[in-house]
Amino acid sequence: MKIRKAVITAAGKDQRALPLQTLIDCDGEQKTVLHILVEQALAAGVEEVAVVVWPGDESRYAEAAWPKGRAGAAALRGHVAFIPQPQPLGYGHAISCAREFVAGAPFLHLVGDHLPVSAGSEPCALRLTQIAAAEDCPVSAVQATRESLLPRYGTVGGRRVSGCQDLYRVDTVIEKPTPTEAEQRLVSPGLRAGHYLCFFGMHVLTPAVMDLLGEMLAAGPVSLSAVLAEFARREQYLAMESTDRRYDLGARYGLLTAQLALALHGRDRQQVLADLVELLATRELVSTAQ
């Protein structure tokens, strides 16, 4: 299958301002988080992107996606659409708002409050779409995460796919499990003790997942984790362990940490390191003097 569309969710009450924040990207250019996410989706081969937003936020998001005067902004405009989530009915409902946009096709999904930063030449989004196309099933990016952070993430358990170091066949999904739940139900082979496979904020979802989401929403609000847990019981669903890093922008100092990660993976790395060393040395001198 070919993944030609992407959906970014950004309508959450505590999330909606985060994609509008400005950072310095790895290329040294000033960009909004939304702009970076759209570029990552297009670099993975996606042709159209829909952003699910709070009603009334469309114009602000349009400006964040293609800032005036930026080279290539006009070309980017034709690739991005905005879909309001009419009622605050949760994450699963936000994804379902893009049903007409995806039109029965598989799609890449990213969350607007997490920023992936690539550690190598092949970004996570590209690798994810390649695996989904080859396996013809939904695939979620995951990352080995220490148990103290489990309250922030949906978490999966499964077994390695034979011959693939970074691929798991998922059998269990739990939204924000406790450490006890994770130890009992989510242990995956090959991980360090106390670490579990938590969602990266990036998925390739298929029409079958969207259909199941619609069925479950008929009974009330539902999380994506609950939908994927049910899907894993019915059909093949895979998780790809990413070597990239994801940064939760809503966490305390999340934007600062994401900015440091971009800087240390970017063209100005040496200058940033020098500035950090100088800052730390200055702080040490002040502490010593006191």
Q: Provide the percentage of residues in the chain whose pLDDT is more than 70.
A: 94
CA dihedral 92, 20, 43, 261 (to 10 degrees): -100
More confident position, 285 or 268: 268
- pLDDT-based confidence at residue 14 (cuts at 50, 70, 90): confident
**138 vs 219: CA distance, rounded Å:** 23
Q: What pLDDT was estimated at residue 285?
A: 65
Q: What pLDDT was estimated at residue 20?
A: 96
* Residue 185 CA to its chain's centroid (Å): 24
Residue 29, CB-side half-sphere exposure with 13 Å CA sphere: 10
The token duo for 220 is: 């009330």
Q: What pLDDT was estimated at residue 13?
A: 86
More confident position, 14 or 261: 261
Topology (CATH level 3) of domain 5-289: Spore Coat Polysaccharide Biosynthesis Protein SpsA; Chain A (3.90.550)
Q: What is the mean pLDDT of the chain?
A: 92
| pLDDT tens digits, 177-234 | 999 999 999 999 889 999 999 999 999 999 999 999 999 999 999 999 999 999 999 9
Q: What pLDDT was estimated at residue 237?
A: 98
| pLDDT tens digits, 128-175 | 999 999 999 999 999 999 999 999 999 999 999 998 889 999 999 999
Whether the predicted pLDDT of 73 surpasses 70: no
Exposure of 158 by Cβ count < 10 A (0-12 exposed, 13-18 middle, 19+ buried)? buried
Q: What pLDDT was estimated at residue 119?
A: 74
Give residue limits of the domains in the chain.
5-289
Q: What pLDDT was estimated at residue 281?
A: 87
The continuous run of DSSP H or E covering 224 comes out as: helix 224-234
The mean pLDDT of 116-139, rounded to a whole number, is 91
Whether the predicted pLDDT of 75 surpasses 70: no
Angle at 182 between CA 180 and CA 186, to 5 degrees: 150
pTM of the model: 0.92
Q: Provide the percentage of residues in the chain whose pLDDT is more than 90.
A: 82
Q: What pLDDT was estimated at residue 286?
A: 63
